[in-house]
Amino acid sequence: MADFWSDVERHVVRYGGVFTPEIIVGAEGSYVVTESGRRILDFTSGQMSAILGHSHPEIVATVRRQVGELDHLFSGMLSRPVVELSRRLAESLPAPLSKTLLLTTGAESNEAAVRMAKLVTGGYEIVSFARSWHGMTQAAAGATYSAGRRGYGPPSPGNFAIPAPDGYRPEFTRPDGSLDWERQLDTGFALFDAQSSGAPAACLVEPILSSGGVIEPPAGYLRRLHEKCRERGMLLILDEAQTGLGRTGTWYAFERDGIVPDIITLSKTLGAGLPLAAVVTSEEIEQAAYERGFLFYTTHVNDPLPAAVGNTVLDILERDGLVKRAAELGDRLRRGLLELQSRHETVGDVRGRGLLQGLELVTDRATKTGADSLGAAVTRRCLELGLHMNVVQLPGMGGTFRIAPPLTSTDEELERGLAILDEALAG
């Protein structure tokens, strides 16, 4: 044990925050297992990705079979798993979204989407939410505002932030104190228009901001945002890394608003924990990009192994009715969190959709004063009691837990997690 942590200190690069003080040796279903034999309930689905739990037997079987048959190809070659997954993603999405590029990470898919939007529109300006997280590569990082902007030199030119529509801490209000999101959105784009050099390309946003504190735009917001994009000749890119493929109780979070984005990016949930991402767009946009020489050669573009995993993920989601199950579990989880709010004064707000819920801690409900240190303390106590939680702590906010259990969770596992959180909040 001591040698392990000594080697960590000597040889492992630290890349954000601190490491969980446990050595993980295995994972199965909703649990990760430590070297000491502890089973820790995973309320984050790994990195918000393992929607089928850990080591799902059918995913394991697919990996074993596919790696022995066809794992990797020259980037200009195609295989049946790639074309099948592309077709199935198109079938899961509304028209005209029908053309797919398979990649590895969420940042990479956002990078490709932004690159495509710039090429097709001829512009270069990108609008995103002020609490966004789209990745750590150049264009994705340029559109990321929640963290990681300082110390790396100038970001890509042409990036603009608009306020996130936070109903709990509204920046624009109606007479009753509720969020005046229409005025907020109008003001945000008026500021963009004033700063724009006349070269808008795209608006890249998450349908529910996860790293930004589980902020869900009000009903109608995305439709109006889409109209703003149309008025300016911009493409709307929706980053559904954490919300796609059923987590919110529908296949895609944007379905609630009855719109169709120009480009959608998927990652995390598509591979259910394995590295797989996708960019899906219309035939019209793909054709325009192709005619202009769209280039996105990467080492693992359209690799057959992760594509085969993606097909298995879709098989399981469809066969086991897990999208509907996510809606039902999400209702159960939300009721449990609201019950905690009724008993603990430090719980200021509960928000989210389906199995992506946020619980924000405050020191005072009236003033909504942030509870940064409490969030960290509750996280540590949950881990001691056998529950892994993730708390988002941004300037001007309290600690907000991102709660995203696997879609395969049982009722009993949800109840156990809520009971542990209850105990941790009680101190």
Q: Which residues are catalytic?
A: 133, 206, 239, 242, 268, 402
Asked if residues 143 and 212 have their Cβ atoms less than 8 Å apart, the reply is no
**How far is the CA of 391 from the CAs of 98, 161, 359, 361, in angstroms?**
36, 23, 9, 10
Asked if residues 46 and 275 have their Cβ atoms less than 8 Å apart, the reply is no
Other CB atoms within 10 A of residue 154 CB:
6
**How far is the CA of 183 from the CAs of 126, 214, 278, 406, in angstroms?**
21, 21, 34, 37
- Could you tell me which of 211, 251, 236 has the C-alpha nearest to residue 394? 211
Q: Using the CB atoms, write b or e for 285-324: b if 16+ within 10 Å.
A: bbebbeeeebebeeebbbbbbbbbbbbbbbebbeeeebbe
Other CB atoms within 10 A of residue 122 CB:
11
Taking the mean position of all CA atoms in its chain, how far away is CA 100? 19
Distance of alpha carbon 281 from alpha carbon 335, whole angstroms:
37
- Could you tell me which of 212, 215, 210, 163 has the C-alpha nearest to residue 393? 212
First to last CA, the chain: 29
Distance of alpha carbon 148 from alpha carbon 141, whole angstroms:
8
Other CB atoms within 10 A of residue 381 CB:
18
- Going by their DSSP bridges, the two strands 235-239 and 159-162 should be labelled as unpaired
Beta carbons within 8 Å of 375's beta carbon, 6+ residues apart: 361, 391, 393, 398, 399, 400, 401
- Could you tell me which of 64, 61, 55, 58 has the C-alpha nearest to residue 33? 55
Torsion sign, CA atoms 321, 325, 326, 328: positive
Neighbour-count burial of 169, counting CB atoms closer than 10 A to its CB (0-12 exposed, 13-18 middle, 19+ buried): middle
